Amino acid sequence: MERYLLLIMFGFCAVAGVAHADSAGASTKLYIVSPSDGAVVSSPLTIRFGLKGMGVAPAGIDAPKTGHHHLVIDAPLPALDETIPKDEHYRHFGGGQTETMIELAPGSHTLQLVLGDHAHVPHNPPLVSEQVSVTVK
């Protein structure tokens, strides 16, 4: 009997581990499609968001394996266990948008994406893109 109980407990742990890994598994990737790192661009510029292994859903929709984009502009990543701020450095795309057009002043800028859940909190583990640097002419 103990043996069966141990097998059942192990099964539950394995299923829980797989479910957690699926929410942001090794094949899941958040990235900026364009502009590319090091690009020289004009303002306004179009930024296209990419997501592989999960889906995009508007804020407020609590669906498994989904989230919405947050663009970090010229700022450090926010705390990855709290609601993502919303200001000129942290832009929310709660409508499920996968691209945007933004105005940036001439000079060097950094861009990075964070995928937020239905309540604007990063997933656990967090999905964060590589940082992209651009120069606006």
Quote the DSSP letter at residue 123: -
pLDDT in tens, 61-77: 999 999 999 999 999 99
pLDDT at 6 over 60: no
pLDDT at 49 over 70: yes
Mean residue pLDDT of the chain comes to 87
Give pLDDT, residue 24: 60
pLDDT in tens, 93-111: 999 999 999 999 999 999 9
For residues 24 and 64, is the Cβ–Cβ distance under 8 A? no
Name beta bridge partners: 9: none
Average pLDDT over residues 107-119: 98
pLDDT at 92 over 50: yes
What six digits make up the tokens of 134? 């651009």
Spell out the domains of the chain, with CATH numbers in brackets. Answer: 27-136 (2.60.40.10)
Give pLDDT, residue 27: 87
Q: Are strands 55-56 and 66-73 parallel, antiparallel or unpaired?
A: parallel
Name beta bridge partners: 116: 68, 122
Q: What is the pTM of this model?
A: 0.81
Average pLDDT over residues 107-129: 97
- Closest alpha carbon to 74 in 90, 54, 52: 90
pLDDT at 1 over 70: no
Give the number of other Cβ atoms within 10 Å of residue 116's Cβ.
23
